[in-house]
Amino acid sequence: MITAEASMCAGAQAKFWEYHDALFATQQQWAALSDAGPVLDSIASRVGVDVPEWKQCVRSGKMRPSIENDRDRLEAAGVRSTPSFLIGDLVLLGTQPMEALRPALDAALAKGGTTPR
């Protein structure tokens, strides 16, 4: 949960992907730690977030309801792993070739989905 909150708080400062990428690049450093806080703080500083604001966001727990809601929706849809793709009413688990994604995307668009950009 803490890494999800840290990422979402970085996202509140338009640095989600920078934080995300750094988080995964350093996973070996923090994953087994009982307190990953210092490493997560270092990542925040390195990707250029306003660290005091970011820390306040993480401490406040204000991102937790959104994260929990996403988790609950994914569990209800049958998602149990990453990567997973939710396209319209279809759930595709695991890595998928474009040949599997294209028909699902086309069907969802035909049902009234939005036009891809």
What is the rounded distance in angstroms from the CA atom of residue 21 to the CA atom of residue 49? 14
pTM of structure: 0.74
Domain co-membership, 95 together with 62: no
Q: Quote the domain boundaries for residue 105.
A: 79-117
Q: Judge whether 74 lies within some domain.
A: no
| 12 and 55 assigned to the same domain | yes
Strands in 75-115 per DSSP E: 84-87, 90-93
CA distances from 100 to 43, 97, 107 (A): 36, 6, 12
Are 57 and 100 in the same domain?
A: no
Number of Cβ within 10 Å of residue 69's Cβ equals 10
Q: List average pLDDT for each run of 10 residues in the chain, which is 117 residues long.
A: 95 97 93 92 96 97 96 88 84 87 89 61
pLDDT of residue 117: 46
**Residue 97 half-sphere exposure, CB side, CA atoms within 13 Å?**
1
Half-sphere exposure of 50 (CA within 13 A, CB side): 7
